[in-house]
Homo-oligomer: A and B are copies of this chain.
């Protein structure tokens, strides 16, 4: 029989220790470090230490929203499913992802836009303030447009679309808005990273 650590919290603790040892010098605050480490933990990619941008005040804004019990919009089901549901419900928060709904698919098809764009419009209609993007550059562009038009009022954004067409640009564009945000710059990102950032923020309150 093989010998291996079987207790999840021990595995996570040990992982975070290793990440701390290997990540080298940094200027992150204690809270920022919790985010950076969890992002590296979920990807084993130390490059994300340099790609993850945490705007001053962003963590405070996110925690305020989480403490009041907020609806979190995610652009994919995958990001939604990566968010710790036990902790989410303890905080009286919930996750909404409209992207696979039949009505959203229909709207997208009729208008020749992505389902992600139609979904973000729906989220804005419903007054969502906490936005999480791990996949869809088009949704992030759309949120910027709706914000500039005065239709959307995001209070906190996680911008982490991944990819080769529009992803990096979508994050550059959203950063032009003066809104509390955390982004993963360049091509990298992903639903797993977006969810990890949400979890890191929630754990700051619950652990």
A44-B189, A78-B81, A81-B81 are known contacts. Are A164 and B2 too (CB-CB below 8 A)?
A: no
Separation of A6 and B114 alpha carbons in the complex (Å): 6
Contact B166 A5 (CB under 8 A): yes
Contact B41 A8 (CB under 8 A): no
Contact with B along A14-57 (1 / 0, CB 8 A): 11001100000000000000000000011111000000000000
Name the residue of chain B whose CB is nearest to the CB of A168. B44
Name the residue of chain B whose CB is nearest to the CB of A18. B164
Stretch at the interface among A59-67, A150-158, A190-198: A190-198
Name the residue of chain B whose CB is nearest to the CB of A195. B78
Contact B165 A15 (CB under 8 A): yes
Name the residue of chain B whose CB is nearest to the CB of A8. B114
Contact A44 B187 (CB under 8 A): yes
Contact B189 A192 (CB under 8 A): no
State the 10 A-B residue pairs at the shortest beta-carbon distance, nearest first: A44-B187, A15-B164, A81-B81, A18-B164, A77-B81, A78-B82, A44-B188, A11-B165, A78-B81, A192-B192
A43-B188, A43-B190, A81-B77 are known contacts. Are A112 and B162 too (CB-CB below 8 A)?
A: no
Q: Which B residues lie within 8 Å of A80 (CB)?
A: 81
Name the residue of chain B whose CB is nearest to the CB of A16. B164
Q: Which B residues lie within 8 Å of A77 (CB)?
A: 81
Separation of A195 and B115 alpha carbons in the complex (Å): 20
Separation of A141 and B1 alpha carbons in the complex (Å): 10
Name 25 interchain pairs, CB-CB below 8 A, sorted by A.
Answer: A2-B145, A4-B138, A4-B169, A5-B166, A6-B114, A6-B117, A7-B114, A8-B114, A11-B163, A11-B165, A11-B166, A15-B164, A18-B164, A41-B164, A42-B162, A42-B190, A43-B43, A44-B162, A44-B187, A44-B188, A44-B189, A45-B188, A77-B81, A78-B78, A85-B100
